Structure 1
Amino acid sequence: MKLFRALDRGILKLEEFILSYAVILIALMVISKPITRTLLGYTLPFADEVSQISVTVATFMGISYAARKGRHISMSAFYDLSPFKVRKVLSIFIPALTAAILFVLAYYSTLYVLDIKDSGRVTAALQMPMYILYMFIPIGFSLGGVQFLRNMWVNIRDKENVYIGTEALDYNDMEDEKVEETGHL
């Protein structure tokens, strides 16, 4: 178990690093375009590609991070109005289904990345192989699938609480003082 915890902490730190720098790169590229256009009369030819790569990386690597923290998008009106037992069943079923869908998407996106790699396509400005841009898609889907399986397992293991992420207790089950401490609704 110590090995899995260390691996999990390492993946979390890697996700935080990748997401942080992807957002910084997006901001730098978006800011640099008008500045260079105003001061130099042209824009950096690689700015759009770096922005596109950063957005792709942040989007797909963010799946796992959002699932871990319970920050993923959810349609929760029915869920929020449901009694504890229904929410508990849903908190096991929904992550299991989501994980299965993410693993299927990871499989098909891996096939797509391999097809792009075989084609030898490169980006226009950086002349970087296109598959490097797209390889983060199956990685993100896979990590997200693993994280949703972990969310399911946390809810199977803990009989008294409902978790919306491995590190996020469902706010419907939180006491008023816990809500004030954590800042959740």
Structure 2
Amino acid sequence: MLRRIEKYFEPTVIVICLSAIMLLVFADVIARFAFSTSIVIANELARISFVYLIYFGISYAIREHRHMRVTYFVDKLPHALKRIALMISETVFLIYSITICYYGVEITQQAIERGKTLSATQWPTSILYAAIIFSGLLCSLRLLHSLYRIIILGETDLSPKEEVAS
């Protein structure tokens, strides 16, 4: 069960967010042109969906090792040096993700204290900022797993292993 959640969590959130964006924007366009009106909350909900899509997409890219990085020189290194280079890069990225998560908590707390709300839905703005926290946590977990694979298992090829259907 946990393996399925781990495998499908981010893609599910991303698909739901993208679907919501397309549906909301499409409905708002139809409402504007066909009925000369607008769906007031459509733009705001699409923006929230877009923010979550982006932040969960970052975590998914880390999990799949598809985030931007230049590996030309690292790929040319011998196995032992390649492991060290990967450990350093993943550790720096982990520190960055933890820092992002920390500041996400700070920003979200400030938004809660100020009591600001989104204009159309009247939801607290902290809902938008919470995406930073979720993404930072997921990224940190993904990077910790990557470091485990490098340090404990000795792997240097971090691309996801394809599961063979039986």
Which TM bucket (shorter chain)?
0.7 to 0.9
Residue 143 of structure 2 aligns with an amino acid whose one-letter code is F
**TM superposition shift of 1:84:** 3.8
For residues 123-179 of structure 1, what are the alpha-carbon distances to aligned partners after superposition, in whole Å with 9 as ceiling and x for unaligned?
Answer: 1111111111211211111110111111111112333x42335x259xxxxxxxxxx
Q: Any stretches of 5+ residues in structure 2 without a counterpart?
A: none
Gaps (5+ residues) in structure 1?
1-5, 170-185
SS in 1 for 2:158: strand
Instruction: Give the fraction of aligned pairs with identical amino acids, expressed as a percent.
Output: 22
* TM-score normalised by length of structure 1: 0.78
Alignment of 1:1-185 (within 5 A): 6-7=1-2, 9-159=4-154, 161-165=155-159, 167=160
Which SS does the other structure have where 1:70 is aligned? coil
Structure 1 residues 168 and 99: CA distance shift in structure 2, 3 A? farther
State how many pairs are aligned. 163
What displacement does 1:51 show? 1.3
One-letter code of the match for 2:144? Answer: L
The change in CA–CA distance for 1:156 and 1:102 in structure 2 (over 3 A counts) is same
Q: Which amino acid aligns with 1:135?
A: A
Across the aligned residues of Structure 1 and Structure 2, the Cα RMSD in angstroms comes to 2.2
Shift of 1:8: 5.0
**1:50-70 CA distances to partner (integer Å, 9 max, x unpaired)?**
111011111112222211111
**TM-score normalised according to structure 2 size:** 0.86
Residue-by-residue CA offset, 1:17-52 (whole Å, 9 max, x unaligned)? 211101111111232232221111122111211111
